[in-house]
Amino acid sequence: MKVDGVHYRSIRLAADGWSVEVIDQTKLPHDFVIARLTTPDEIAVAIRTMQVRGAPLIGATAAYGVCLAMREDPSDRVLDHAYEMLLATRPTAVNLRWALDDMRGALRPLAPRERAAAAYRRAARICDDDVAINRAIGDNGLKLIRDLAARAKGDRPVNILTHCNAGWLATVDWGTALAPIYLAHDAGIPLHVWVDETRPRNQGAALTAWELGRHGVPHTVIVDNVGGHLMQHGMVDLCIVGTDRVTAAGDVCNKIGTYLKALAAHDNRVPFYVALPSPTIDWTVADGLREIPIEQRESAEVTRVTGRTASGETATVEIAAPGSPAANYAFDVTPARLITGLITDRGIAAASREGLRRLYPEQVSPRRSVV
> Contacting ligand MRU (CB under 6 A), which of 129, 244, 251, 345?
244
Q: Under rule CB under 6 A, which residues in 178-207 are in contact with ligand MRU?
A: 203
- Residue 144 near residue 238, CB atoms below 8 Å: yes
Q: Is 59 in the site for ligand MRU (CB under 6 A)?
A: no
> Contacting ligand MRU (CB under 6 A), which of 11, 24, 53, 149?
53
Q: Is 344 in the site for ligand MRU (CB under 6 A)?
A: no
What character string, x for contact with ligand MRU (CB under 6 A) and - otherwise, covers 324-343? ------x-------------
Nearer to ligand MRU, 95 or 118 (CB): 95
Quote the least distance from Cβ 132 to ligand MRU, whole Å.
15
Active-site residue (options: 244, 282, 332, 345): 244
Total residues at the site for ligand MRU (CB under 6 A)? 18
Q: Under rule CB under 6 A, which residues in 95-154 are in contact with ligand MRU?
A: none
Q: Is 55 in the site for ligand MRU (CB under 6 A)?
A: yes
Quote the least distance from Cβ 10 to ligand MRU, whole Å.
11
- Residue 332 near residue 258, CB atoms below 8 Å: yes
> Contacting ligand MRU (CB under 6 A), which of 170, 179, 351, 356?
170
> Contacting ligand MRU (CB under 6 A), which of 61, 140, 202, 243?
243
Nearer to ligand MRU, 97 or 255 (CB): 255
Strands 158-162 and 238-241: parallel
Q: Is 56 in the site for ligand MRU (CB under 6 A)?
A: yes
Quote the least distance from Cβ 349 to ligand MRU, whole Å.
17
Of how many residues is the chain composed?
Answer: 371
Nearest of 102, 109, 108, 161 to residue 130 by alpha carbon: 102
Q: Is 51 in the site for ligand MRU (CB under 6 A)?
A: no
Rounded Cα–Cα distance for residues 79 and 82 (Å): 5
- Residue 88 near residue 46, CB atoms below 8 Å: no
332 in active site: no
Query: Which residues are tagged catalytic?
Result: 244
Binding site for ligand MRU (CB under 6 A): 53-56, 93, 164, 166, 170-171, 175-176, 203, 242-244, 254-255, 330
